[in-house]
Structure 1
């Protein structure tokens, strides 16, 4: 039997065949949808938008773009694909392997030259390994689970970071509006002081104090505009866009305090322990380490392998066709205590992964507790700042009317205007804190997704 042509044919064709079959062991089926697709809950809409919308940018749009464009999601998705491929490597260990070998040699001697040609096909199959392949596949599978959970944690962290940047940009824009109103009021007070001074009803100090307040209001407005531009640049960076990209944000809805935060914190912590993707990743790392310890133990056990295949050899005029089939039992009697210390190292790694998981569990409980408390404070601040703003606006109107009527002092007017400007800033900060605290609690529990934003848009 001439198997040399067969060996040459396999050498030329098998690499091309393997390249054409991208995923013969179906590891892609182990990977859920990409991050933005998995989080999307909007039926009938494209969940992954890479370009800016034609209209104003909403929080939903911002999250979509960030999840699609930010390098963090691409990196985490690539890491998950790496681990899925490692599962394929572990699965492939259960299959036989086929090797071809061809050789040609020429010998030189006084008696004459001699050419020797040989070829062989060898089928090798590991029949029994006492748990090595099972442990290896278990390890690869758990590491894939860890990579997927880490990807989900990365997505939620980016989700939260995007919302923080978006709401900060909205807040700084609102701060510009408040600063413009404060500047307008200061200019109105300056005009009133000028008028009273011209008619002799006010001292020069009134005009100077009003001028100082107006200049300070202008300075505050200029600083607010700079902060707003910086916030838009930071938002563009989070979206994976150049910082100078022009962004137009949607108008912020009027917020109302909610009572959902009053849910029992113990139940929220329980949900977080069951849902948090980073905790799932830590648990998967523990299971992967346990599988690695099982693999280290199995590597010290015997193996049984099957080998079979035809051979062909031609030396000068002599030609020989043959073949072989056989079983090989490999028993590792002693390897310098390597197996012992591999097992010890693997078991220590299990203990380390378990300690990391337990530490993360404590951190999860603390995250939920702090986020729950912060949202409660933010709810209270929403109502308090609403009342504060209403009273400050009324006080400013009364003080301005009294000053124009000549029965109030300029200090009372400027104090009322300063209080109003402060109340507006505190109201904006309270709304920002509420939005961020609400998203932070959802992220701490492990439930941050598009439904949070849809609920906010439907029920402001």
Structure 2
């Protein structure tokens, strides 16, 4: 019997232990924000988390950056305008012959003068070139599609972050309420044990009970006080975790139970299409991004048809034999213009394009496998959440019966002890059973709310949950 009593004492604190662990597992760390004024409702806590939590600000900024990438991709349709102005001082020796393209030796225009002089003259050049790729066979549109796919992925990731942060804030809120209920239950047990210890002390002083009974009663009271300290500690840790979850780390938060005092409406927990879950949408968007990159590669091995026009001018202080000197070269002297079209085709890019296609094909297979795994995880998470909700509902229906029976048993055991018909061990067992029943009943209704939250999170939509707590 004593072993069962100890086991019940251990299991009576499972909510406190889960509360402490849940506090430590809240995502990320938040920068301290202004303290909420007055008691905080669950709906307000979630709204504060969505407004203040740094992870949400980060995900929204990244989603906006991906959306701006669409505009960047569209700029490829615009023409290109390049301008140049140059002044130089150089020699004008020239030779006849070919020079392969390279960035080191500057080209020299004009006739071969046969000179080797180090005398220099001024030279100038300026020009404006307008170029536009008129035909690209869909390459630029494919790049825009890649940017759109990345934008969809960023938005889905942002929605997933908001879902996780909101669910974490709601769970932390319920954890605080459960910890407070546990503190009240343990405090009531301490008061009850204090009264019983005083009664036993009186009976022992009158030599109506052995001194061992007083020692046992004092030990039970000390254990209950230690349990109360542990419960208070768990409640304080839960409050710190709640403050962090709403983006107000280090700020004192006092939650109000509000509508959580009543049972939730479980009709909203209907079976949902898990493909609409933000996690599934993000995984599918990753697949579409890879496919968009594959379409870019499909459009890459085509000619590029470009229109070009240029207006330029040159000036030089060098004199050609038999020709008059036009100036000192510091200013433009000879104008030119040109207009035309050019067709370029990177023939040997075929090998790199094929290699990159093979890479993207494997990337697509990997992303599709990840999408399938995501759906499988969500399905499992949904099934677990529904099992949790079913058990939580049954427990909430049973705990009032458990508490009433434990209360009656404790009263009768105490009365039998005072009449000399029961031992102190029987009373201690009954009081432990009552403490267990009170703790279970205190958190049972909150357990149903937490289970409903888990179902809504697994389905990817907290709105039905929020409608009930608003």
TM-score scaled to structure 2, two decimals? Answer: 0.80
Tell me, what secondary structure is at the counterpart of 1:54?
A: coil
Partner residue in 1 for 2:254: 248
CA distance in 2, matches of 1:106, 1:353: 59
Q: Which runs of 5+ in 2 are unaligned?
A: 1-31, 93-116, 318-325, 328-332
Partner residue in 1 for 2:305: 304
Partner residue in 2 for 1:68: 51
Kindly state the Cα deviation for residue 313 of structure 1 after the two structures are TM-superposed.
1.9
Asked if the contact 1:262/1:376 (under 8 Å) is kept, the reply is no
Kindly state the Cα deviation for residue 154 of structure 1 after the two structures are TM-superposed.
0.8
Superposed CA offset, 1:197-233 (max 9, x none): 2333222222121111111111111111111111112
Partner residue in 2 for 1:46: none
Tell me, what secondary structure is at the counterpart of 1:93?
A: helix
Asked if the contact 1:50/1:64 (under 8 Å) is kept, the reply is no
Partner residue in 2 for 1:135: 142
What pairs up with 1:336-355 in 2 under 5 angstroms?
337-355=351-369
Does 1:329 pair with 2:333?
Answer: no
What pairs up with 1:158-237 in 2 under 5 angstroms?
158-237=165-244
Kindly state the Cα deviation for residue 258 of structure 1 after the two structures are TM-superposed.
4.8
Does 1:453 pair with 2:455?
Answer: no
Q: 1:180–1:111: structure 2 CA closer, same or farther, 3 Å change rule?
A: closer
Larger Rg: 2
Question: Of the candidates 93, 96, 99, which is equivalent to residue 82 of structure 2?
Answer: 99
Question: Of the candidates 154, 158, 175, which is equivalent to residue 151 of structure 1?
Answer: 158
Question: Of the candidates 417, 426, 441, which is equivalent to residue 431 of structure 2?
Answer: 417
CA distance in 1, matches of 2:286, 2:118: 67
**Worse overlay, 253-262 or 169-178:** 253-262
CA distance in 1, matches of 2:462, 2:280: 15
Kindly state the Cα deviation for residue 257 of structure 1 after the two structures are TM-superposed.
6.4
Kindly state the Cα deviation for residue 437 of structure 1 after the two structures are TM-superposed.
1.6
Of the two structures, which has the highest relative contact order with CA contacts closer than 8 Å and spacing of 6 or more?
A: 2
CA distance in 2, matches of 1:95, 1:332: 22
**Worse overlay, 275-284 or 400-409:** 400-409
Q: Which runs of 5+ in 1 are unaligned?
A: 1-48
Kindly state the Cα deviation for residue 304 of structure 1 after the two structures are TM-superposed.
0.7
Moved over 6 A (4+): none
TM-score scaled to structure 1, two decimals? Answer: 0.82
Report the count of equivalent residues: 401
Tell me, what secondary structure is at the counterpart of 2:261?
A: coil
Kindly state the Cα deviation for residue 85 of structure 1 after the two structures are TM-superposed.
2.4
RMSD over aligned Cα atoms: 2.2
Partner residue in 2 for 1:19: none
Superposed CA offset, 1:50-106 (max 9, x none): 633311122122212222222211111121122122211111111112111111111
Q: 1:112–1:204: structure 2 CA closer, same or farther, 3 Å change rule?
A: closer
CA distance in 2, matches of 1:277, 1:257: 25
Tell me, what secondary structure is at the counterpart of 1:397?
A: helix
Kindly state the Cα deviation for residue 429 of structure 1 after the two structures are TM-superposed.
4.4
CA distance in 2, matches of 1:73, 1:289: 25
Partner residue in 2 for 1:41: none
Does 1:320 pair with 2:334?
Answer: yes
